[in-house]
A and B are shown apart, each in its own frame.
Chain A
Amino acid sequence: MAESGPVFELTQVSYRYPDGAMGIRDLDLVIHARERVALLGANGSGKSTLLKVLDGLLFPQAGTVRAFGETLQEPRLREDGFRQVFRRQVGFVFQQADAQLFSSTVWEEIAFGPVHLGLGDAEVRDRVADVLALFELKSIQDRPPFRLSGGEKKKVALAAVVATNPAVVLLDEPTAGLDPRTQRGLLDLLLRFGQGGKTLLTATHDLDTVSELADRVLVFGEDHRLVADGPPAAILADKDLLLRVNLIDPRFHTHGHDGAHRHYHIHN
């Protein structure tokens, strides 16, 4: 795999679901290492589809996807050697935590990645212990996933992904449905990973967290095309763009300082 060069390179990629629904349309995209990218767009605009295409879970009908210099194709991913290296490099935190936590306890869940990527027993145990400590999950390590709260589930999902030490982390709506404190904790963790040199791609429609999470914002329209690509400040200030892609409603407004945001107040 290439040492330098882009992490992901997409050329005219289009994906349509088996039931006919459109996923992404004619996408050209380059993502470099250590970039922190936010994918913005209304529901159904193609953010999740793009993440799955990048992770080699969906294969586009048109266009090519290159990851770390290699073309991502289904037969290639079925080769043991390629699969193990690729899956170790890229981690994916799914939107639906219940599908992602499929082991019988938290400990087993975090161990799943390392075990299936060929690490030895002792190394797996050490890794899991480190991850449990980092995420402060030690007290619930023997708990089955159905007895975790929403916030705990998201933490465990991220922990399980981080356990294989991927270079790239793809996140699908990581802060959706979380209470403010849990959301803050998760964001802090993500910031640390970003500072540690990981490439982060986060799909979200929560505008409040974008400027914290990302240095680059990709906006997807309801026509499943890439509509804008730029730094957060510029994108979030472009109210017409945000209205057009259904990310804000007409009552959204900003105040005279950096960063668009929404907050509670009463005008008399």
Chain B
Amino acid sequence: MSDPGRALPAWLAAPAPLPTFPPAGAPRRDVLADTVHAIAAAFERDLVCEAVARRPGLLQGVDPRVKLGTLFALIGIVGALHHVGPLLILNGWLLWLAHRSQLPLGAFAKRVWGAVLLFTGTVVFPTLFNIIRPGTPLLVLFHTSHPITWGPWTLPSDVAITHEGVAGASLLLLRVGASVSLTILLTLTTPWPRLLQACRTFRVPPVFCAVLEMTYRYLFLLLRTSSDLFLARRSRLVGQVGGRAQRRFVAGAMASLWGKTAALSEEVHSAMLARGYAGVPRAVGQCAMAPSDWVWVALVGLVALLVVGGDRLLG
């Protein structure tokens, strides 16, 4: 520690004048802040799920292992449907499930269908037209005198929205929507630690289950460390920084995080050894299923039968 008698350097000892701020100008986008926001969003998601998982709804009462198994199977059923009708019915039933599980329907629908229409809709939009794939026209948009060829791609003379295009797009949109709904229903109504513990039942090797649960535990620690790193950088940044320097910072942040991660894993290992761990993860056996769980399985089975049966009947 420095000798308390030594004088401070002049620039440190001089009293700082009051700052004068320049007039308002164009704000420059702070790219590094996006990472901080993304991390904060991850924390928020966990908290929201915790809150919803506590409500006394239909899905909250189902055992997490049963939920995981049935909802996972339902995603497979979604993949096996070939017609728009049964997919619509299934999506409707999922909305009803969300309502019965005390999820705010407006927010749920917006979260699922907003995202699906935005992302999947954008991806699938070009397939509506017979530019990508020829088909029977549903609505002719415009008409050129002859087909235009450009390398391996040809633009047909009648550019139109096709039946097949609309059918394929709607199938994909409904499928993705149903799958996303099922995943959100699963994660919102189950506390995350219990969801990951449910993997133990499905014959996943104990090492994988142990790693999965521990990853969840340390995920948020590393996220917080990263957030602090980025925030500290932001608070120390005085001038403008170009993309290259920012990339260098991000890479440096990753390297520093790796150093901390490696050190953390050593400490965790010591702590595990001190409590009797010897390399074989063990866990307490899980409770038996309740009658309500069997009712739920029966309900899901019924819905699946109806929907797939209807699908096969339609052709």
Contact = CB atoms under 8 A, between A and B. Distances in A.
| B is bound to A | yes
Contact of A57 (B224, B270, B276, B285): B270
Contact of B271 (A102, A121, A125, A142): A102
Given A102-B217, A102-B268, A111-B284, A142 B276 contact: no
A9 interface: no
A100 B271 contact: yes
Contacts of B196: 104
Contacts of B197: 104
B270 A102 contact: no
The 4 closest A-B pairs by CB, nearest first: A99-B267, A104-B193, A116-B276, A146-B220
A15 to B, nearest CB: 14
B272 A113 contact: no
A124 interface: yes
B298 interface: no
A87 B282 CA distance: 16
Nearest to A163: B275
A216 interface: no
B284 A121 contact: yes
Given A94-B270, A113-B275, 12 more contacts: A55-B274, A84-B276, A94-B274, A98-B221, A104-B214, A105-B193, A111-B284, A124-B284, A142-B193, A144-B217, A160-B275, A164-B275
A220 interface: no
B213 interface: yes
Nearest to B223: A146
17 contacts: A87-B275, A87-B276, A90-B274, A99-B268, A101-B217, A103-B213, A103-B214, A104-B196, A104-B214, A104-B216, A108-B193, A112-B276, A113-B276, A115-B283, A116-B275, A125-B284, A160-B275
Contacts of B213: 103-104, 108
B191 interface: yes
A161 B270 contact: no
A51 B283 CA distance: 28
Contacts of A101: 217
Nearest to A113: B275
Interface of A is mostly: helix
Interface string B169-192: 000000000000000000000011
A80 interface: yes
B190 to A, nearest CB: 12
B141 interface: no
A146 B276 contact: no
Contacts of B216: 104, 144
Residue of A102, A103, A108, A146 with most partner-chain B CB within 10 A: A102
Interface string B279-297: 0001111000000000000
B96 interface: no
A102 B214 contact: yes
A115 B274 contact: no
Interface in A43-94: 52, 55, 57, 78, 80, 83-84, 87-88, 90-92, 94
Interface in B242-272: 264, 267-268, 270-272
A117 interface: yes
A117 B224 CA distance: 33
A57 B273 contact: yes
A103 B217 contact: yes
A145 B217 contact: yes
B313 interface: no
A96 interface: yes
B193 A144 contact: yes
A108 B200 CA distance: 14
Contact of B285 (A78, A87, A103, A121): A121
Contacts of B208: none
A125 B285 CA distance: 10
Nearest to B193: A104
A99 B217 contact: no
